[in-house]
Structure formats: C-alpha cells, structure tokens
C-alpha cells in the first residue's frame, strides 16, 4: 500500500474514532441522562404525565400545582415499593389504565373535587413509580438515574400545564378536550394490549 493511502486511512480512523464504551453506564452523566430519557421514551408514561398537567390546568387552583406535586411524590413511593419488590396489581395494566382514565377525565371535562383528583392521580402515580423502581437501573448510577426520571416527570407535567392554560380561551377548551380524547383513545389501545 502506498504511503498516501496509509495516511488517508489513518486520518479516516482518527476522524471516525469514538471514545471507549466500556464504562459509559456508570457515573452521573450516564445515570442522569438515561433516567431523564426514560419517561420520554415510552408513550404510556409520557401521555399520562402530560395528561396530569393538562387536567390540573383544566381544573385550576389548587390542583394546577397540587397535581404536579402529588404525582412525583407518590411516584417515589411507588418506586420504593418497586425496589423493595412489594406485591402490586398488574403494573402494565395500571399504567395503561392511567392513560385511559386521565384522558377520559379531560375529554369529558370532569371537574373532580380536589380530594378525588388528588386520589386518582396519586394511585396512578404509584403504578408509574413501581414500573420505574423495578427497572432501576442496569449498571448505571441509580441516584443520577432516579433524579433524572423525577425531573423529566416534572417537566412533562409542566408541559401539560402550559398546554392546559389554553383552557382560558373558549376554543382552547375544545382543543384540550380533543387532546384528552386522543389520549384516552391511545390509553384504550394500551389497556387492550395489557389485558
């Protein structure tokens, strides 16, 4: 092989080289990033969390802030239950049911009393947390991972709240109820799959 060809190959290898991947799973970066990504990577978690924010904004004070606080706190309780392997009803079904129920509440414009809304969200949060706790995490920093998934959950609630603020406009209410119907329809598919 000619010298310029070798030089070209060496340059190509240098440019295309990536870092060694033997230990990318450990440490804050891997744990936090994968934890943050986890709720965003599954439609069931993502839709349920956006629905919590949407419903909270739709119901107004105090639930606009009480629901985004209740969900992460109860999700943590569920995650601890998952880590300690407490028995729970079928988790996948619970997660799927949460998407269907929360979407239906928005679509039907169900103005639940404060205690009832908090109870509904708290129960569903247990299922989501349990699922996270059981998967926590493979060869990655568990503290960074858990911090990431709690923060991502909170951000999704805020996204839902931001969309839900459209409820202040008349056409916005229709759009939000339509979004709720779409979430409920997706939830129905999840429930069918979980059964």
Partner 1 sequence: MRDLLLATAMLGGGVGLSTGCSRIRAAQTCSVALASFVIATSITRADISDRILVASWILIACSAALCWLPRDRAPHALRMLLSMACGAVAGGFNHRLLSTAGLVFAASLLSLTLGAVILAAKKWILPMRIAAGWLVAIATLNVSLTIIPVTPGYLPDHLE
In the complex, least distance from residue 92 CB atom to partner 1, rounded to whole angstroms: 16
Q: Decide whether 147 or 186 has the Cβ nearer to partner 1.
A: 147
135 belongs to the binding site for partner 1 (CB under 8 A):
yes
Q: Please, are residues 185 and 103 in contact by the beta-carbon 8 Å criterion?
A: yes
3-state secondary structure of 123: helix
- Of 74 and 107, which has the nearer Cβ to partner 1? 74
- Greatest Cα pair distance, the chain, in angstroms, is 80
Q: What is the closest distance, in whole angstroms, from the C-beta atom of residue 82 to partner 1 in the complex?
A: 7
Residues within window 64-83 making contact with partner 1, judged by CB under 8 A:
64-65, 68-69, 72-73, 75-76, 79-80, 82-83
According to the binding rule CB under 8 A, does residue 37 interact with partner 1? no
Asked if 31 and 144 touch (Cβ cutoff 8 Å), the reply is yes
- Cβ count within 10 A of residue 24: 14
Site track 149-178 with partner 1 (rule: CB under 8 A), x = hit: -xx--x--xx--------------------
Q: Would you call 81 helix, strand, or coil by DSSP? A: helix
CA distance 181 to 100: 9
């Amino acid at each position: 092989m000619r010298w310029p060809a070798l030089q070209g190959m060496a340059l190509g290898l240098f440019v295309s080289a990536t870092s060694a991947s033997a230990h990318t799973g450990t440490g804050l970066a891997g744990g936090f990033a994968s934890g943050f990504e986890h709720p965003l990577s599954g439609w069931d978690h993502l839709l349920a969390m956006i629905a919590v924010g949407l419903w909270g904004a739709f119901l107004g004070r105090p639930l606009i802030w009480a629901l985004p606080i209740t969900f992460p706190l109860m999700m943590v309780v569920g995650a601890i239950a998952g880590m300690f392997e407490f028995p729970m009803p079928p988790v996948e079904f619970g997660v799927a049911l949460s998407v269907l129920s929360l979407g239906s509440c928005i679509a039907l414009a169900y103005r639940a009393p404060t205690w009832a809304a908090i109870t509904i969200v708290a129960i569903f949060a247990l299922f989501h947390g349990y699922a996270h706790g059981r998967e926590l995490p493979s060869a990655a920093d568990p503290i960074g991972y858990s911090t990431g998934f709690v923060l991502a959950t909170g951000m999704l609630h805020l996204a839902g709240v931001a969309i839900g603020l459209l409820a202040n406009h008349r056409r916005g209410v229709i759009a939000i109820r339509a979004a709720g119907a779409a979430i409920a329809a997706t939830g129905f598919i999840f429930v069918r799959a979980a059964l």
